[in-house]
Amino acid sequence: MEDTRLGFVGIVIEERAMAGRVNEILSAFGGIIRGRMGVPDPQTGNGVISLIVEGSNDQLGAMTGRLGNLPGVTVKSALISRKTKTEK
């Protein structure tokens, strides 16, 4: 059994050109994403993606770190302090 955390990640994309890279990263971490909702603003080119996630600290940190290093992308997350257990 592996310790995991449950929570959400909010992603704000201010540069439309980064949307493809954001989606590539999210696809790579698809195993820890439980739910996703995206709201684009075609007039400004901005967008917001909200994720429900469950994964290890290492997995969540790797995903949010890669997303946060993209120019024009802001990432915020909140995770429960209690660890959950999942079967490997």
CATH of the domain at 79: 3.30.70.1150
Alpha carbon distance 56, 44 (integer Å): 35
Q: Based on the structure, what is the number of domains in the chain?
A: 1
The residue segments making up the domain with residue 19 are 2-86
Q: Are 59 and 7 in contact (CB under 8 A)?
A: no
pLDDT tens per residue across all 88 residues of the chain: 568 899 999 999 998 889 999 999 999 999 999 999 999 988 988 999 999 999 999 999 999 999 999 999 999 999 987 776 665 5
Q: Identify the helix (H) or strand (E) that includes residue 57.
A: helix 57-68
Cβ distance 71 to 13 under 8 Å? Answer: no
Residue 51 one-letter amino acid: L
- CA dist 79 and 88 (Å) reads 21
